[in-house]
Chain A
Amino acid sequence: MCACRCGIKVHLRDGQIRYIEGNPDHPVNRGVLCAKGSAGIMQHYSPARLTGPLKRVGERGACAFQEISWDEALATATAWLARIRADDPRKLAFFTGRDQSQALTGWWASQFGTPNYAAHGGFCSVNMAAAGMYTLGGSFWEFGEPDWDRTRYFMLFGCAEDHDSNPIKIGLGRLKQRGVKIVSVNPVRTGYSAIADEWLGITPGTDGLLVLSLVHELLRAGAVDVDYLARYTNAGWLVAQNQGRPDYGLFLRDEEGRPLCWDRREHRLRPAEDAGARPSLKGEVQIARGRRALPVFHLMAERYLDARYSPDAVAPQTGIAAATIRRIAAELAQAAFRREIALEIPWTDAWGKRHERMLGRPVSMHAMRGISAHSNGFHTCRALHLLQALLGSIDVPGGWRFKPPYPKPVPPGLKPAGRPGEVAPNRPLPGPPLGFPAGPEDLLVEADGSPCRIDKAFSWEAPLAAHGMMHTVIGNAFHGDPYPIDTLFMYMANMAWNSAMDVGGTIEMLTAKDADGEYRIPRIIYADAYFSETVAYADLILPDTTYLERWDCISLLDRPISKAEGPADAIRQPVLAPDRDVRPFQDVLLDLGARLGLPGMLDQEGNPAFPKGYTDYLVHHERKPGIGSLAGWRGDGGEHGRGAPNPEQLQRYVENGCFWQGELSPDQRFFKHANRDYLDYAARMGFIDRAAPVTFQLYSEVLQKFRLAAQGIAGPPPPQAHRERIETYFDPLPFWYAPLDRGDEHLYPMHAVTQRPMAMYHSWGSQNAWLRQLHSSNRLYLGRERAAEMGLRDGDWVWVVSRHGRIKVQVRLMAGVNPDTCWTWNAIGKRAGAWHLAPQAPEATKGFLLNHLIDWLLPERGAGYRYANADPVTGQAAWYDLRVRVEKAQPEAAVSLPQLPVLATPCELPEAPAVLRYGRQFRPESRRP
């Protein structure tokens, strides 16, 4: 249902849902449930549900469809896709939204042979994921969590109500019970920030400055864990310093490629990761033939001790007082170094040394969208990981902990497939479309440096775009840049509304035609369970079931639900049969794959390999021998992690409450990056290829390799136009720069951001009769002081103007917001007519989207090229870089603008009731009035 993936129990009476509750045994939610979880009844019985496959009969956008059979729908899709596959598989762009089956969809794309695949991570949180994977081998949220039960100081960055949902709330509740101080860094004081002991109302996009100022203070005071840094990070690795040499800025390595350090006891160079190495953290090392090297930590100290990161210097930009920054640094140091905790659990490190206890620095952190959705988010998130490492608080008692199967090598060895020569007619890709480039040679670019992918992910424009760049697909396809496509196939992604930057422009591109009358994007296939805005723009609709009608899987291969104490995965089993002509998307995808004859989807006789659909796939598909979608109860039922497919596996999951959880032994639960017993376990389970320590990459050689390429010193060089940009942003150490789309700060003095309300976490729930009563329209929230300066009162209507567009909305004044920031709830505004709501629904008449104000491209710079409005390293959509001005609107009709034409219903939908009496059927006869 959403990315939180709680365990639920659905209770039926007479075939109808009586109630849904949290599963008390489930590792994610431990029995609790959010508003959306309980409102699942209304999600299921929504009148906005599609009823059967549809074929467009009018113009795109007119929402005129004809109901067709599944046979016809699948035959149509197969004909379209087979032609593409035989001609040029790249002409299929397959992008999914908030679904949880990316292990399947990614595999399907690679079997089809198109590199043009991604899910929605590129416009969600790839900055967090990529920064984490290129620094620690894990990341916030899905790959790690605070040690809620032991931490003594907790900092939350840019996380108001979002990822992840219930685990954060459970964790905050535990911190409150123990009286742990909570500091929330966020421009807006709602949700989690409301209960924080200290709210720092930071100016959007400046978190990196704040973090590096904390780093400055800690370094200045020597309040850093030098032993931890020397042992578990590359702080002691030597970096070659001879400018102009091809190894400038790279690690000094021996003949076997092992990074070297200067051993401060033995006064010699030796492999930094050797057992017993005592790396020096400072001072230049002179090597033969005039070569010089400095340890990473020396470079860090030089950079971050600079006065530009002092609290006094960053205070004006961040909006946080210098004295507050100094005090927070002192509190962090005090919690980490004077309140350290020790668990009396002996453990053995990766080098075989036994430690009698586990020493913890009990400071933990969590960060999400407010960091991620800026064009400087990758470096900001790396700065956060640097801060954690300086405090020695990663995977220690009381710190922030990895969730198995993480940590992985930094970066993981998986490379994106789809390079020139890897895409060919009727051939699968040699690997998955998404991965982690380790240098310029891993980019997906043509010989001339132009992008191989339609979204330009893994090109010089966004080299580490590990989740793809869904937000650029429609625009690039429209422009035929880098090439035209034939079919856009999307699942659960509302790209004609709240998931698009520049909604109006996106709709124009979806409906634009060439001179010959053909649509610029010739074919659009869309799968969704509901009548969302995007339905209107598709040519073929493949209606999905609700989440209660299908099997689902949360796989370790994908985005697992593990806890720090052990890996976990889960399934969902259907509790209701569809009452209409809809099919689970995963079944449909496998059916299409078999019809197309994709490798792996047919058996040796040419029959569908998974005739029963997704359940067959879940049980029998193996990614590597012995490793499949689900880790629990493999082989004869007693094997976990690796093992032959077990036909009884799903039954075993059902018997266990639909999840599997492995349990680490106490001596494996911390220091996983360098814990011999954990690493051995992880290798046995197939989480990592071999049991080797994971050294945190505070200094990123990968980034430096891109920089060397841009400088023309080593490696394949980027096209001239991209060189300066790559050289600037591929700094091997974290740094802060102003968000790219700054515009004219006098014309657009305010920042504008959004939050998703907790009741609609990771979704847009306006088709839900109960949830929409909580949020049926949104307002623009503004600080009282700025409002007074502008002569605005609560309830006034204003124009919000960006360099790209303007919207008319109603304001609400508040105190708890950064003075230069306005904000609103995201995805409450709906297009009139969509979601089977009355056209006069407040979602349409008063609700609004900020998306209209956000350009999907940055302004033209230099040679006429326009980059995506995204992080230059990862391609993460920079939603929160938006700058606006707010102007009082003349009193006129109290309706938000723009108003797009009312959407007609795409097919005959059941009439939405005027009165909802759900539950009346459950009242005993004797008590019926």
Chain B
Amino acid sequence: MTSLPKEPPARRLGLVIDLDTCVGCQACVIACKEWNTGGFPAPLTDQEPYGARPRGAFLNRVHGYEAGDGESGQTVHFPKSCLHCDEAACVTVCPTGASYKRAEDGIVLVDESLCIGCGLCAWACPYGARELDADQGVMKKCTLCIDRIYNENLPEADRRPACVACCPTGARHFGDLANPDSAVSKLVAERDGFGPLPELGYQPTNRYLPPRPRRREPADHVAATLEPAAPQGGFLAWLDRVLGD
């Protein structure tokens, strides 16, 4: 239906999200909403914003999960937005050409003037990363803040997605994953970053850094119990020794 670029993009811009550091604070969710409701996909509307069933379009959401019980149990926060797949089914399924992937940087976008709101792309996306704006009748999705990252009116340091700029724990990173020397590629290599559901073959660009193994002990050996200072003479006898001057 809609074609992907013939060649792999020269640059593969994307996010690297550190699940070891994300505390689930939702800062990125709202920063994304804030920037984008007035940005490229403006507006991201909300239905019944003050009513009984408030719901709106968000291009990024964070879900919390518990895994395991007892000592090995963990709580993981999982931020979810478009992963800008190389084999983007949301593009190939699009009947109008509204969904497309850019050859120059790999970003997947929606041309709203062509979008008929059929919802096929949302159905095709295995990651649940697209949202139909119920008011506007068109599909909305993460643009990697395309109107920030190339925006020459912004200081160089601010030319990164809103979700990355705001992240209080520094769990979100942005860069070119096609370049093995980029900071994000190095992070992925060091930390065994992964793209979710690789078996489906969509080749997502974004990467997640898995939670590090939880350390029950510091790196070097620590005894399980401290030895008594002065087994015979007691604590105050020990004090005599250390203060013996």
Contacts and interface: CB of A to CB of B under 8 A. Distances in A.
Interface string B37-61: 1110011111111111111101000
B232 interface: no
Interface in A829-852: 836-838, 840-842, 845
Interface stretch (A326-334, A558-566, A631-639, A884-892): A326-334
A169 B55 contact: no
Contact of B26 (A166, A221, A758, A916): A758
28 contacts: A32-B168, A32-B170, A35-B31, A38-B33, A39-B33, A152-B218, A177-B170, A190-B24, A190-B75, A195-B169, A197-B214, A218-B226, A223-B229, A265-B245, A282-B239, A282-B240, A327-B225, A330-B223, A330-B226, A769-B49, A774-B30, A841-B50, A912-B51, A915-B135, A916-B49, A917-B45, A922-B39, A923-B42
Contacts of A346: none
Given A169-B168, A172-B21, A329-B226, A34 B27 contact: yes
Contacts of B245: 264-265, 278
Contact of B27 (A35, A297, A301, A920): A35
Contact of A222 (B18, B48, B229): B229
A742 interface: no
B215 interface: yes
B112 interface: yes
B198 interface: no
Contact of A24 (B18, B157, B162, B217): B157
Given A173-B170, A197-B216, A816-B66, A34 B37 contact: no
Given A34-B27, A770-B46, 17 more contacts: A32-B165, A172-B169, A173-B21, A190-B24, A191-B25, A192-B23, A217-B225, A220-B235, A223-B229, A264-B243, A280-B243, A281-B239, A758-B24, A769-B54, A772-B49, A914-B48, A919-B38
Nearest to B111: A927
Nearest to B157: A24
Interface string A312-330: 0000000000010011011
Contacts of B39: 919, 922
A217 B27 CA distance: 40
A268 to B, nearest CB: 15
A774 B158 CA distance: 26
Q: Is the interface of B mostly helix, strand, loop or mixed?
A: loop
A838 B166 CA distance: 32
B66 A327 contact: no
B77 to A, nearest CB: 7
A527 B83 CA distance: 47
Interface string A229-268: 0000000000000000000000000000000000011000
Given A169-B23, A222-B235, A769-B49, A41 B34 contact: yes
A331 B218 contact: yes
B215 A169 contact: no
A337 to B, nearest CB: 11
Interface stretch (A14-22, A134-142, A420-428, A585-593): A14-22
Interface string A206-232: 000000000001111111001000000
B242 A226 contact: yes
A838 B52 contact: yes
B7 interface: no
B128 interface: no
Given A194-B23, A278-B245, A922-B39, A301 B222 contact: no
Contacts of B217: 327, 331
Contact of A759 (B25, B53, B242): B25
B136 A929 contact: yes
Interface residues of B, number: 85
A918 interface: yes
Interface band, chain A:
35 or more
B23 A330 contact: no
Interface in A850-895: none
B216 A198 contact: yes
Contacts of B236: 282-283, 298, 301
A176 interface: yes
B144 interface: no
Contacts of B64: 190, 194
B232 to A, nearest CB: 13
Contacts, number: 276
A161 B23 CA distance: 9
B189 interface: no
A452 B140 CA distance: 62
Given A22-B166, A170-B169, A172-B21, A815 B226 contact: no
A34 B43 CA distance: 21
A68 interface: no
B66 A221 contact: no
B169 A173 contact: yes
A153 interface: yes
A334 B18 contact: no
Contacts of B229: 220-223
A913 interface: yes
A194 B77 contact: yes
Given A816-B75, A912-B49, A195 B21 contact: yes
Contact of B54 (A18, A297, A776, A920): A776
Q: Which 9 A-B pairs have the closest CB atoms?
A: A222-B229, A221-B226, A169-B168, A919-B37, A919-B38, A769-B49, A194-B75, A173-B169, A912-B50
Contacts of B25: 34-35, 161, 169, 191, 758-759
Interface in B114-151: 135-136, 138
Contact of B24 (A191, A769, A914, A915): A191
Interface in A22-55: 22, 24, 29, 31-39, 41, 47-48
B215 A181 contact: yes
A838 B76 contact: no
B224 interface: yes
Contacts of B56: 769-770, 773, 916
B217 to A, nearest CB: 7
Contacts of A223: 226, 229
Contacts of B239: 222, 226, 281-282, 297, 301
B38 to A, nearest CB: 4
Contact of A334 (B37, B54, B222, B230): B222
Contacts of B38: 13, 18-19, 918-919, 921-923
